[in-house]
Structure 1
Amino acid sequence: MGQLAIIKNDPWLEPYAAAIEGRHQDAINKEKELTAGSGSLKAFANAYNYFGLHRTDSGWVFREWAPHATSINLIGDFSKWKVMRKYALRRIAASDGVWEIKLPATALRDGDLYKMYVCWEGGGGERIPAYANRVVQDEQTHIFSAQVWCPEKLYKWKVKRFAPDTKPLLIYECHIGMSQEREGVGTYNEFRENVLPRVAADGYNAIQIMAIQEHPYYGSFGYHVSSFYAPSSRFGTPEELKALIDAAHEKGIAVIMDIVHSHAVKNEVEGLGRLDGSPDLYFYGDHRREHSAWDSLCFDYGKNQVLHFLLSNCKYWLEEFRFDGFRFDGVTSMLYYDHGLGKAFGSYSDYYDGNEDTNAIVYLTLANKLIHEVNRRAITIAEEMSGMPGLAYPIKGGGIGFDYRMAMGIPDYWIKILKEKKDEDWHPTSIYWELTNRRPDEKTISYVESHDQALVGDKTVIFRLIDDQMYWHMTKGDDNAAVNRGIALHKMTRLVTLATINGGYLNFMGNEFGHPEWIDFPREGNGWSYKYARRQWDLVDRKELRYCELNAFDNAMVQLVGDVYDFQALPVEKLWEKDDDQVLAFKRGDLVFVFNWAPFKSYDGYGFLAPEGEYEVILSSDNKDFGGFGNIDEGVHHFTQPDPLYAPDHKGWLKLYLPARTCQVLRLHRQKSDNI
């Protein structure tokens, strides 16, 4: 095998070539092993068509992998929840612990609730099948059960084939349950009817949906998964989820699922923990079994049955629900035996010190390969904070194969300067470096804040900027200094983050208009209140409030970037940065982005070198429609002034009026001719 491309392109990786080549070969070997009988990963990842409950021409068949079980019985409405001999599974001979039962068509009906009663050496208990595709919770007892799902009318897809136009990728991160105005749990239908039109109007071309996989505790934000194949019934039925995805596709919006394969809930009655009585069926059996920070269980990616379960899970969501891809949660935790906790990752040696979980890296590599085999246009995103090289690099070149990685350092940076820096200490050199400091061969998703920054105990960016003044001074005409500052910086941070993307941009639901306060799901500590687990859409709909100004600016900047095909691929060319003046200017294609971060200093005729020609202002944060003061005359065209020193480079001085705390975008209108 010749040297891998990732090492050729980055000589600093050469000392770690053995580790990189080793894990690359491990993935090749594991794929050969898994596909020896099927021929491809796509054919291999069919566990959900074999395990679980299925209706056949002759009746029903149910199968479960439980090698440590001594007996398994189906119990449910049909057996009055008693163990009965006629619902006993038999262990398939010569199998690795697979149990099966075949039942007549009349044995089960749509809507029946059921579970398994599993016995093992020294004990037994009720369990929900690992491959259950519908799990519901009783409103009175709060007990979860699997449910027979075979409605007479299955959803019929309207969009047969969907090819997302995501260059650039503009993501609207959302949570179905908290997407409604009322205090309660929102539904798939409510989101489809009320929120999806907002997303389309806002100009985003993808939604990233959290908390789809069933989870017992609502307040976990969907990250403590119990049933990996069941869409959460809190929000509605599987058919209603399909209708939502179909409607998004009709609007040209891709649907990305926030998938959790990094860990699982510890619950044993609802989840996979000790499903057959053993602690290590799906999880590590030693000290690595429990995640010390998340109070959850860690998958053993070295087991082929676990790989079968997880790879099939990827294919299931793609094929059954037509998701357009996945944002993999908790990838850092997967990559390292210590989950990356308390580690600085200050040098390449930190990534290759023997702490890498090679089995997990192999799984992620195979998952990416499978996903793109099933749908070559699929989108995969890694939520990863250590910065391991190659995560979003092609597999054939030695990478792990994600399309994008989350630029998790960017929101941390914005929060840090908001908390620690005076306005006059916001330095353009620091801002530009943070937003453009990335591996050139890996695409990232940039963002100012996601749901993480808004969780209880923290604050959204707008709330950190304005704080309690939001409660009293967000009415138009109320000239409040704190609100004016907050609105100005909210717009500037978002535009500079979006304008410097090399892959995609993400916004969390409601933050486009500066949704106030934090996110807090119902829990004992807040009296099980839904007050902060919802979105106050009326704030942006009320034209007398300033939220609509922030929303209008967000719409304008998203449309501006979205209208430039492959904007993310255009080189970012720095034109000017001066910390003393707090001015930053850079160019992408024919667009020039200019920022004056100074809190009090406005500049008249501020000049910097730019490609010679005529420029028109196409976006200004100072526009009154966006909550500005209207000091920038957007009708004026600006011409570069020649300088003999820079004439060979076809550059001249572009001189602009830069009001304090404003940003503007100019387009090179036409090349300057000699008679101008």
Structure 2
Amino acid sequence: MVNAASIGLSTRDLYLFNKGDLFHSYRTFGAHPIRLGDEHGVRFAVWAPNARQVRVAGSFNDWNGEGHAMELVGETGVWSLFVPEIGAGDLYKYEIETLEGNWLLKSDPFAFGAERRPDTASLITDLTKYKWRDEEWQRRKQDGSPYHESMLIYEVHLGSWKNKGKEQFLTYEELAGELVEYVAGMGYTHIELLPILEHPLDQSWGYQVTGYYAPTSRYGSPEQLMILVDKCHERGIGVILDWVPCHFCKDDHGLRRFDGTPIYEGTDWKRAEKPIWGTLSFDFGRTEVQSFLISNAIFWMDVYHIDGLRVDAVASMIDLNFDKPPELHTFNKHGGTENTDAIRFLKRLNETVFHYYPDALMIAEDSSAWPAVTSPTYMGGLGFNFKWNMGWMNDMLRYIELEPNERMHHHNLVTFSLVYAFSENYILPLSHDEVVHGKRSLLNKMPGTYEQKFAQLRLFYGFWMTHPGKKLLFMGGELGQFDEWKDAEMLDWKLLQYPLHHSMQQYVKRLNTVYAEQSPLWERDCDPGGFEWIDVHNAAQSVIVFMRRSHDCNRFTITICNFSYLHHGQYRIGVPERGNYRTVLHSEDAVYGGCLQEVQQEAGSSDIPWHGREYSIEVDLPPFSFQLLSFGDGEVNIPY
């Protein structure tokens, strides 16, 4: 056995790792270029508690680890070795002898770089060279509060936003120019990256990971990723990373039976199996796994300055039998189906992240009805600060796909979300999952003629943008794509040569700008006092009208949506104040592909009580139209 101190390891750190409390374990594990005495080289450390032997094989020893046997550090299950005269750029793997005498060749779970698939070796990487320039962004972020600020997220799959041909991807550095400028120009506040942790299969979109600490080499080097994040921050854009702690893939070089035994997935194979994905669940009750995963969350914020994590598949984590056939069902010690280990893990994860990064975004992608997902753990919650509103998304997509003459019979699909809209801190997602696998693109979900599809998509976006909750749109939604997302091809940018698609992009850009300008649309997203129905029961005409208020209650907006194919002229709406109501945006403006050459710029109130209010205004409601009116914001806000 080796003495930990002799190779620069801390016995306390190894103790904390075994205990589940080493939250920066990437500083201990993996391959670290260091100086030991008078020698420069690389220190390797890996957890393989049930291995007979572990060796390092790599490009520096012709992939034969016989001369580079690692030594066990005490009774920690950790093996370590210092190899002189090697460094960044060298490739390596671990040769692991199992208890049965078989030899495995494994990538490093803590590798900071990886070969480009289909090759699977780990890459010795020095992450200390890049000089960050985002101090101003970090200061500004600390002074803000995400609950009371605008949040408009552009969800991106880097390999198919744009590319140079089949499997000819733009690099992180190239994306730092073109993508970031596009996102900033369109008015988004954040980019959310589909998983960029190293993964073997393109078609998994990054959701089946082998290298949790290595950004995928498909798009270039770790330093190039740092350039991308830095550029986002320079342009005032936050970066959210899709993060997948639920499960991992079964590829031989990965975490499955890492030392010949199930140390990451646990020994209960029924609990470990994720049959719908062909993957394995982490053993969230194992302390070393907790150190590994929580450290990984911290790592992306520490090293890559990621601003937040969207935690994938929370529902699958907290339910032992989520999407499993009866023969794989298991139960907790109380006889229930809750995964109590996963629940404790999620609470601890969020507590730890917010301890180190109080201004982080921790977003739950959760389709369950689990309560208090975004409540603090000391109040019994899971401790996230935002959650995707999957109920709103499913109801609204179901509603908007209905034939217009059927919508009056399903009016509750539009209104029901306000029953629970303030029970959590919500993000309203229109994500990649809704435009693949035969679900059709957002535009193609709309019924009717070519022009009616565009009109309804503009209407739908207007309702989405003004409904309580932060916002997320998957790339391509702003173009009005007809086809579903194709992960192996880039977006259909050629559509912009056609007037209605170009107008749709300009409409989304203007809608994004209006959202940023109108504080009632985001200041009180988590406060029921910031929302008020004006006309909620008009199912017969498929019309809804509601109000959003800012902290300054004298400033508010009114959203008017006509989801029917009929024109409603001289439609009267009750309003709370006497005065002029300015048209901020009208979806049927010809500028955006609509039918109106001129849009009424304001509506003056009358002393005619309506909808339980002292005053009212009259507006014209074209078919499939959205209008946003503003009161109390000073100058007329003209969108032309």
Q: Shorter-chain TM-score: what band?
A: 0.7 to 0.9
Match of 2:329 in 1: none
Match of 2:590 in 1: 624
Count the aligned residue pairs. 587
2:622 is aligned with 1:659: yes
- Choose the corresponding residue for 1:229, options 208, 213, 227: 213
Match of 1:300 in 2: 283
- Choose the corresponding residue for 2:539, options 564, 567, 579: 579
Match of 1:563 in 2: 517
Match of 2:385 in 1: 403
Tell me if the contact between 1:390 and 1:400 (Cα under 8 Å) persists in the aligned partners.
Answer: yes
2:112 is aligned with 1:149: no
Mapped partners of 1:517, 1:670: distance in 2: 40
- Choose the corresponding residue for 1:49, options 27, 32, 47: 27
1:399-429 alpha-carbon deviations (Å, 9 max, x no partner): 111111111123322332344x221222484
Tell me if the contact between 1:491 and 1:553 (Cα under 8 Å) persists in the aligned partners.
Answer: yes
- Choose the corresponding residue for 1:536, options 484, 488, 492: 492
1:494-548 alpha-carbon deviations (Å, 9 max, x no partner): 111221123x110001111212312344xxxxxxxx3xx31123433x3x43212
Alignment of 1:62-141 (within 5 A): 62-85=44-67, 87-93=68-74, 95-104=75-84, 106=85, 108-122=86-100, 123-137=102-116
Mapped partners of 1:67, 1:361: distance in 2: 26
Mapped partners of 1:237, 1:210: distance in 2: 17
Tell me if the contact between 1:632 and 1:657 (Cα under 8 Å) persists in the aligned partners.
Answer: no
Tell me if the contact between 1:68 and 1:120 (Cα under 8 Å) persists in the aligned partners.
Answer: yes
Match of 1:8 in 2: none
Query: Which deviates further from its counterpart, 564-573 or 394-403?
Result: 564-573
Match of 2:177 in 1: 193
Mapped partners of 1:340, 1:390: distance in 2: 23
Match of 2:438 in 1: 457
2:522 is aligned with 1:546: no
1:230-254 alpha-carbon deviations (Å, 9 max, x no partner): 1101111100100000000011111
Tell me if the contact between 2:52 and 2:97 (Cα under 8 Å) persists in the aligned partners.
Answer: yes
Look up the SS of the partner of 1:558 in the other structure: helix
Tell me if the contact between 1:284 and 1:299 (Cα under 8 Å) persists in the aligned partners.
Answer: no
Q: Which amino acid aligns with 1:547?
A: H
Residue 49 of structure 1 and its aligned partner are, at CA, apart by 0.7
Residue 658 of structure 1 and its aligned partner are, at CA, apart by 1.0
Normalised TM-score (structure 1): 0.82
Residue 567 of structure 1 and its aligned partner are, at CA, apart by 5.0
Q: Report the RMSD for the aligned CA atoms in angstroms.
A: 2.6
Mapped partners of 1:644, 1:410: distance in 2: 32
Mapped partners of 1:426, 1:187: distance in 2: 46
Mapped partners of 2:223, 2:20: distance in 1: 24
1:409-463 alpha-carbon deviations (Å, 9 max, x no partner): 23322332344x221222484243244232524111113x310012243311112
Mapped partners of 1:283, 1:562: distance in 2: 47
Q: Which amino acid aligns with 1:110?
A: A
Flag the 1:418–1:57 CA change in 2: closer, same or farther, 3 A. Answer: same
Match of 2:344 in 1: 362
Tell me if the contact between 2:240 and 2:309 (Cα under 8 Å) persists in the aligned partners.
Answer: yes
1:328-377 alpha-carbon deviations (Å, 9 max, x no partner): 0011010011026699xxxxxxxx97211111011111111111112111
Match of 2:202 in 1: 218
Mapped partners of 1:496, 1:431: distance in 2: 13
Tell me if the contact between 2:29 and 2:45 (Cα under 8 Å) persists in the aligned partners.
Answer: yes
Flag the 1:226–1:37 CA change in 2: closer, same or farther, 3 A. Answer: closer
Flag the 1:281–1:248 CA change in 2: closer, same or farther, 3 A. Answer: closer
1:106-144 alpha-carbon deviations (Å, 9 max, x no partner): 1x1321111111111221121111111101136xxx321
2:230 is aligned with 1:249: no
2:404 is aligned with 1:423: yes
Residue 201 of structure 1 and its aligned partner are, at CA, apart by 1.1
Mapped partners of 2:471, 2:153: distance in 1: 6
Tell me if the contact between 1:407 and 1:445 (Cα under 8 Å) persists in the aligned partners.
Answer: yes
Residue 650 of structure 1 and its aligned partner are, at CA, apart by 6.0
Percent identity of the aligned residues? 25
Tell me if the contact between 1:258 and 1:327 (Cα under 8 Å) persists in the aligned partners.
Answer: yes
Normalised TM-score (structure 2): 0.87
2:244 is aligned with 1:268: no
Residue 610 of structure 1 and its aligned partner are, at CA, apart by 1.2
Mapped partners of 2:561, 2:614: distance in 1: 20
2:257 is aligned with 1:277: no
Tell me if the contact between 1:177 and 1:187 (Cα under 8 Å) persists in the aligned partners.
Answer: no
Match of 1:14 in 2: none
Runs of 4+ in 1 over 6 A off after TM superposition: 34-39
- Choose the corresponding residue for 2:453, options 486, 501, 510: 486
Tell me if the contact between 2:395 and 2:414 (Cα under 8 Å) persists in the aligned partners.
Answer: no
Alignment of 1:154-165 (within 5 A): 154-160=129-135, 161-162=137-138, 163-164=140-141
Match of 2:269 in 1: 286
Q: Which amino acid aligns with 1:158?
A: R
Flag the 1:342–1:222 CA change in 2: closer, same or farther, 3 A. Answer: same
Look up the SS of the partner of 2:499 in the other structure: coil
Mapped partners of 2:610, 2:299: distance in 1: 62
Q: Which amino acid aligns with 1:307?
A: Q
Residue 195 of structure 1 and its aligned partner are, at CA, apart by 1.4
Mapped partners of 1:457, 1:520: distance in 2: 11
Flag the 1:137–1:318 CA change in 2: closer, same or farther, 3 A. Answer: same
